[in-house]
Structure 1
Amino acid sequence: MARPLALTLGEPAGIGPDITIAAWLRRNELELPAFYLLGDDALIARRAKALGADIRIARVRAEEAGAAFSDALPVVATGEIATAEPSRPDATSAPAALASIRQAVADVREGRADAVVTNPIAKSVLYRAGFRHPGHTEFLAELAGHDGRVPQPVMMLWSPRLAVVPVTIHLSLRDALAQLSRELIVSTVRIVAAELKSRFGISRPRIAISGLNPHAGEDGSLGHEEQTIVTPAIKILRNNGIEARGPLPADTMFHDAARKTYDCAVCMYHDQALIPIKTLAFDDAVNVTLGLPFIRTSPDHGTAFDIAGTGKANPASLIAALQLASRMAAQPT
């Protein structure tokens, strides 16, 4: 039998508790995979009351979550309480959020869960508490490290209509341009191609690679990075047997006909990749971290403090993240 999914609490004052409750309430209608929340059951009870949600909450061990899921939302304690009210993070927010992530990773690596699904965190809250990572992705990579080696995490945004990967992630545009290299493109695309095979069941992934500059540099008249960085990287990838093509002008990569010609678009910087997918699939896109020794998915949105506790939060992206994590875990290895 499939093991349950380990769902993190996220920022306690955000919409993570709201969408978790909403997803569990739709478990039968959508035939959702079993999951358990890592966090403070008292916080979830308070939020359910604020939302007027008719829900049972069961404090369980991870090994008991699958059996409990049909009748109650299973909550596994992390040892950290969370007292934050909706939209108002407090001193318990960062410890509760980080303990949940650490325990989720431990549960997957020790065989108690099939995948990690993460609710949104508030990086500003974590930074004030001393968090030193740019975001979730980099923290998960550190937790996945072994013998001093930290894997290269690759952020994919996936939806049924489009999958995208930015080569550089949480950096200013100036720093992204400085970091971009043929080596980074090659290592990123190798991970993408390998995991499209192993995690998504695509036997020969087709990778479309964007240029950096407008019109992919216009043969050098609008920039030389395509000639000196991107094209050499694509040649290496093709010599490795990877079906990669480009560099392509980013402004013509995402219309309906173009999207049918590839399985994933790899772009040079954050917004080049995320603007098209958030335009096409804002409510149901899923953040997937590739390159880790475990499966991790997440809703593709933030904490939405302004609507936390109001009942207005849309659980669609979390539901898609749970469904995708289950699908990936079911792939034969």
Structure 2
Amino acid sequence: MSSPTASGETPGRWRLAWRALFLVFAAAVVALIVQRARDIDWRAVATAIGDYDPVTVILATVAALGAHAAAASYDLIGKRVVGHAIATPNVLLINAVAFPFSLNLGALIGGWGFRMRLYSRFGLGLRPVLEVIALAVVTNWSGFVLVAGVLLSLWPLPLPQPWAFDPLWQRMLGVALLIVAGAYLVTCAIATRRDWRPRIRGVAMHLPAPPLAVLQLAVSSVSWLLMSAALALLLPGQVPFAHVAGVILVCAVAGAALHVPGSLGVLEVGVLALLPTDSEPAPVLAAVLAFRALYYLLPFLLAVIAYAALEWRAHRRASGRSRTYA
């Protein structure tokens, strides 16, 4: 029988090994970013950004904001499942603020911290807020799994060396992801009948009924696809949409694994490394920077303004109540 000390050391060793692997991976990404930055003609990048025609920018902006609008509806599914009484416009506003903060500052601060603060402003308790947040996380990644499964099954990524990944293995991974998406729907059906509550990040939550689970997959898939469309519209040449969407998904996974807010640097290097090699680097980087401005920074600016307005309104309500009771 192993001693308590020995049994406690094993998880610690695994954690140390995982942190070491993470640091090596992060160092490799940083080195790749630095190397790419040195090879870029930044004047050519600035010229490429200035050469965008207004129609392209408008279409890309609509796609980017449409992706955020779809993501803002995630908490409406949580509202239906949890059954809280906060009005639909307020739920949409809370998620429209929290989602850009989550993208740019990280899930812990944006996805969790801002949602908890904003929902508490509307009188929702801690437990239902945590359940709504957990459902939003599931919604976001369920659509990712579905989109990635379809893309890899039907259109394997033609990755350049040294990132090449056998198309057969890509198709097998895609089928596995589709099975996972299907298993989620089955799990929702079983959980609804048996009142089973799984735990997501330690939070016990009701799973949605199958129709709402299908809606989860659909809304999240639309958000991921519109996000990909925004970048595809800005890229030079005729890059297949499936390729662009696949690269977006790969960069999203890498950014989440590295815990890099906004996939800063990871997105830029990933797109430069994984898109066809015959593309000039300056226009491609210009497209990524324009995409970052439209998908990350513009919604974040709008979210900051909306959050300031919410805080100001809450402060005025509190001041009015204090004067009433004075």
More helix by share: 2
Considering the TM-score relative to the shorter chain, is it more than 0.5?
Answer: no
Q: TM-score, normalised by structure 2?
A: 0.28
Q: TM-score, normalised by structure 1?
A: 0.28
The structure having more radius of gyration, on CA atoms, is: 2
